């Protein structure tokens, strides 16, 4: 999440150029998330760059929340496909299996639909003044989205994402 993203739609009377205020100071907060076709959401805010270790810790947290095998679909961020993570996944293949999307295919990633909702709702609140405000706003929005299981499950109804839908029973 960053304060310079612009997801606001607007209008202007004919003959007047529409303007939208933008932040001049770039502030960013990082988040990793996972969703299920049943509407469950897991997310974590972190500082700095995503690393294999941070991603692994997130996956371990997800694994601890279920007694079933985790099938994780991920993009090809370097932290998601590194040798250390691959070795760890092989060592834990009875608990987790990783699948990777093609490069530049956000439309295939169900979590991108969640990210889009987060960014839209964040933009509706207006520009944050500092990192703490971005994180607080994002955290509150994510908590709200977490409670909307039907909305999260609906992301898997999109034609590009139906491949990831499964019965969680």
58 or 1: whose pLDDT is higher?
58
pLDDT at 11: 62
Q: What is the pLDDT of residues 66-100, one digit of tens each?
A: 999 999 999 888 888 889 999 999 999 999 999 99
User: What is the extent of the structural domain holding 39?
Assistant: 30-164
Let me know if residue 22 belongs to a domain. Answer: no
Let me know if residue 117 belongs to a domain. Answer: yes
Residue 59's nearest CA partner among 70, 48, 67, 46 is 70
Let me know if residue 14 belongs to a domain. Answer: no
Q: For the stretch 87-100, what's the b/e string if a residue is b when 16 or more beta carbons lie within 10 angstroms of its beta carbon?
A: ebbeebeebbebee
Q: What is the CATH number of the domain that holds 78?
A: 3.30.420.10
122 or 54: whose pLDDT is higher?
54
What confidence tier does 16 reach under pLDDT thresholds 50, 70, 90?
confident
Q: Would the pLDDT of 119 be above 70?
A: yes
Let me know if residue 16 belongs to a domain. Answer: no
Let me know if residue 12 belongs to a domain. Answer: no
Let me know if residue 13 belongs to a domain. Answer: no
What confidence tier does 21 reach under pLDDT thresholds 50, 70, 90?
low
Q: What is the pTM of this model?
A: 0.80
Let me know if residue 92 belongs to a domain. Answer: yes
CA quadruple 167, 152, 62, 64: dihedral, nearest 10: -60
pLDDT at 131: 84
Let me know if residue 125 belongs to a domain. Answer: yes
């Amino acid at each position: 999440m960053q304060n310079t993203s612009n997801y606001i739609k607007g209008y202007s009377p004919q003959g007047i150029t529409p303007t939208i205020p933008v932040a001049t100071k770039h502030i960013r907060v990082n988040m990793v998330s996972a969703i299920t076709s049943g509407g469950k959401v897991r997310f974590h805010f972190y500082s700095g760059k995503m690393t294999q270790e941070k991603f692994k810790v997130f996956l371990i947290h997800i694994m601890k929340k279920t007694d079933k095998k985790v099938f994780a679909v991920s993009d090809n961020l370097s932290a998601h496909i590194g040798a250390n993570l691959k070795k760890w996944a092989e060592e834990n293949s009875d608990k987790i299996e990783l699948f990777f999307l093609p490069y530049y295919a956000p439309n295939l990633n169900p979590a991108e639909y969640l990210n889009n909702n987060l960014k839209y709702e964040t933009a509706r609140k207006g520009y944050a003044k500092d990192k703490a405000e971005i994180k607080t706003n994002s955290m509150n929005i994510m908590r709200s989205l977490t409670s909307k299981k039907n909305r999260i499950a609906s992301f898997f109804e999109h034609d590009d994402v139906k491949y990831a839908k499964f019965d969680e029973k």
